[in-house]
């Protein structure tokens, strides 16, 4: 009897989620209320006072790549970022003053930010591209990105000042500018066949293998997020190994660390609805709080709605 009830409950949950997934497959309109202002800026946090272009561009990339309608935000943001880029001559991070936004910190991810900026520009509608002068902006961004390429290794350096390469940054460059040559370079530089995992950085001082959740664990699942080809061992086994090792600490840190909604997207892509629901059950009550970023907000709107019956604690540990 107990097994029958458990089977029935599982079937009901699966059916409810199937219906939710079908609903979610229809185009959704991205709503960034509380993350934008009249100038077009997109902040890292809800009603925040900091703009980091990397997070804003990543959020729009994720929404666009999953078929969401970003038209209400893409052009205003592109205009805003172009003004900052033109005024300073390079990307940066920006702080809000009573009068305006000002450059206040150097960027920490030039390579991936420039690649995501190129992706946004390329995906604007033709009429909006013309209004923005997108072709000239693309040419400049490509030139700036090209200057970051390590011609010996074939990968991209973080910035003119930080001359090491990061695995996740290079995956994001590849995702927006895919090429077999770059994919080969990424595998050659970062894959450690002996240990069966990816190096996180070319920095000799970065411990390998490292044991921090970020960047060491998060880097290992990033290839699946961007659809990187030829993951050693295959996508499904790679995903299963990652979840076996890191699922519990990832879910346990929600509430006192960043929730890493991007991993929930990978779970969704892999059809792992139990893990998706666990992330939603733990993370959504903390929506818009300190650790919640604009990327997590896109994830929350992208995933199918969480419906009853809700996950049991034992299933989310």
Q: How far apart are CA 160 and CA 37, in angstroms?
A: 31
- Percent of the chain at pLDDT above 90? 87
Cis bond leading into 109, ω under 30°?
no
Residue 9 has pLDDT above 60, yes or no: no
Instruction: Inform me whether the pLDDT recorded for 79 exceeds 50.
Output: yes
Residues 275-297: tens digit of each pLDDT: 999 999 999 999 999 999 999 99
**Beta carbons within 8 Å of 19's beta carbon, 6+ residues apart:** none
What pLDDT, in 10s, does the model give residues 59-74?
999 999 999 999 999 9
* b (16+ CB within 10 A) / e for 112-147: bbbbbbbbbbebbeeebbeebebeebbeebeebbee
User: Stretch 110-139: mean pLDDT, rounded?
Assistant: 95
pLDDT higher for 217 or 9? 217
3-state class (DSSP) for residue 104: strand
Residue 126 has pLDDT above 50, yes or no: yes
pLDDT of residue 246: 98
pTM over 0.75: yes
Which residues are paired to 69 by β-bridges?
29
Instruction: Give me 7's structure tokens.
Output: 């089977």
End-to-end Cα separation, the chain, in angstroms: 26
pLDDT band with cut points at 50, 70 and 90 for residue 26: low
Mean pLDDT for the chain overall? 91
Res 20 pLDDT > 50: no
pLDDT surpasses 80 at 1? no
The pair of structure tokens assigned to 237 is 């086994």
The CB-side HSE value for 301 (13 A sphere, CA atoms) comes to 23
**What's the CA gap between 57 and 270, in Å, rounded?**
24
Which of 9-13, 49-53, 104-108, 311-315 has the largest mean confidence?
49-53
pLDDT at 23 > cutoff 70:
no
pLDDT for residue 113 is more than 50: yes
**Is the predicted pLDDT of residue 169 greater than 70, yes or no?**
yes
Residue pair 186/174 in contact (Cβ under 8 Å)? The answer is: yes
Query: Using only C-alpha atoms, what is the Rg of the chain?
Result: 20
230 close to 178: Cβ distance less than 8 angstroms: no
pLDDT at 27 over 90: no
Peptide bond into 273 cis (omega under 30): no
Lowest mean pLDDT among 24-38, 177-191, 253-267: 24-38
More confident residue, 85 or 60: 60
> Is the pLDDT reported for residue 194 higher than 60?
yes
Amino acid 91: pLDDT: 87
Question: What's the chain's length in residues?
Answer: 317
Does pLDDT of 107 surpass 50?
Answer: yes
CB contact at 8 A, 279 and 254:
yes
Which is nearest to 215 in space by CA: 154, 158, 176, 148?
158
Q: Which of 264, 269, 270 is nearest to 311 (CA)?
A: 264
């Amino acid at each position: 009897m107990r097994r029958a009830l458990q089977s029935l409950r599982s079937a009901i949950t699966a059916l409810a989620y199937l219906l939710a997934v079908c609903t979610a497959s229809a185009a959704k309109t991205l709503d960034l209320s509380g993350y934008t202002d009249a100038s077009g800026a997109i902040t890292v946090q809800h009603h925040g006072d900091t703009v980091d272009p990397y997070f804003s561009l990543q959020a729009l990339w994720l929404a666009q790549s999953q078929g969401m309608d970003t038209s209400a935000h893409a052009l205003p943001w592109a205009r805003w970022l172009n003004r900052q880029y033109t005024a300073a001559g390079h990307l940066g991070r920006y702080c809000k003053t009573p009068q305006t936004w000002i450059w206040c910190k150097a960027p920490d991810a030039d390579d991936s930010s420039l690649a995501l900026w190129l992706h946004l520009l390329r995906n604007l509608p033709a009429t909006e591209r013309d209004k923005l002068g997108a072709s000239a902006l693309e040419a400049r961004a490509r030139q700036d990105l090209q200057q970051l390429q390590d011609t010996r290794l074939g990968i991209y350096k973080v910035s003119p000042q930080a001359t090491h390469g990061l695995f996740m940054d290079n995956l994001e460059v590849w995702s927006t500018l895919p090429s077999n040559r770059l994919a080969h370079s990424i595998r050659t530089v970062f894959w450690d066949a002996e240990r069966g995992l990816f190096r996180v950085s070319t920095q000799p001082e970065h411990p390998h293998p490292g044991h921090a959740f970020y960047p060491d664990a998060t880097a290992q699942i990033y290839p699946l997020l961007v659809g990187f080809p030829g993951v050693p061992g295959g996508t499904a086994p790679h995903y299963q190994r990652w979840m076996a090792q890191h699922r519990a600490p990832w879910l346990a840190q929600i509430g006192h660390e960043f929730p890493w909604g991007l991993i929930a997207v990978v779970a969704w892509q892999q059809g792992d609805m139990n893990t998706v629901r666990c992330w939603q059950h733990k993370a959504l009550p903390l929506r818009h709080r300190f650790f919640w970023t604009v990327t997590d907000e896109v994830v929350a709107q992208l995933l199918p709605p969480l419906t009853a019956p809700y996950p049991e604690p034992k299933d989310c540990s």
